[in-house]
Amino acid sequence: MGEGKGDGTVLEIHTADIKLTAPVFHTQAQNLSTALTTLVTTLDGLGAPWGDDEQGKKFYDAYHPQQKAIERAAGTLVLGLTSIHEAMADMADGHVDNDELIAGMFTKVKAKIDGEHDKGAK
């Protein structure tokens, strides 16, 4: 990767930033879920609040055929936001675990002074 004018850094991960950002996706998933529930229950509870005048009929003609698709799409977005939250939290935890594993590989191991570790052929 030594080509180019950069410092050679390919990816710099800040786990603290990931851990701070991940809950935002969870919060927004909850907000969208609440909005979807409110939309569905309110419109279902009101019956046909758009009326039967010309504008109401135009709204109904445009909205009703797409209603279930809109609800499914919003539900999919809720699941997507929740998945992003979980993936980011897992990624941050995995990155920390990986850093600790790599650090452990390069930790100096103290040799035994009494020579017991080197009792090979003489």
| 90 is a domain residue | yes
| 114 is a domain residue | no
* Helix or strand holding residue 34 (H, E): helix 15-46
| 30 is a domain residue | yes
17-41 pLDDT, tens per residue?
778 888 898 999 999 999 999 988 9
What percentage of the chain carries pLDDT values higher than 70? 65
| 105 is a domain residue | no
| 37 is a domain residue | yes
Helix axes 67-105, 15-46, angle to 10 degrees: 160
Q: Where residue 16 falls among pLDDT bands split at 50, 70, 90? A: confident
The answer to whether 81 touches 33, Cβ cutoff 8 Å, is: no
* Helix or strand holding residue 59 (H, E): helix 54-63
State how many domains the chain has.
1
| Average pLDDT, rounded, for the chain | 77
| 27 is a domain residue | yes
| 108 is a domain residue | no
| 6 is a domain residue | no
59-75 pLDDT, tens per residue?
889 988 998 898 999 99
| Domain span including residue 24 | 15-96
The SS3 of residue 114 is coil
Instruction: Say which CATH number the domain at 69 has.
Output: 1.10.287
Show the tokens assigned to 10: 């390919």
Q: Where residue 1 falls among pLDDT bands split at 50, 70, 90? A: very low
| C-alpha to C-alpha distances, 38 to 34, 45, 61, 87, 110, nearest whole angstrom | 6, 10, 21, 28, 64
Confidence (pLDDT) at 7: 59
Confidence (pLDDT) at 105: 66
More confident residue, 76 or 117: 76
What percentage of the chain carries pLDDT values higher than 90? 25
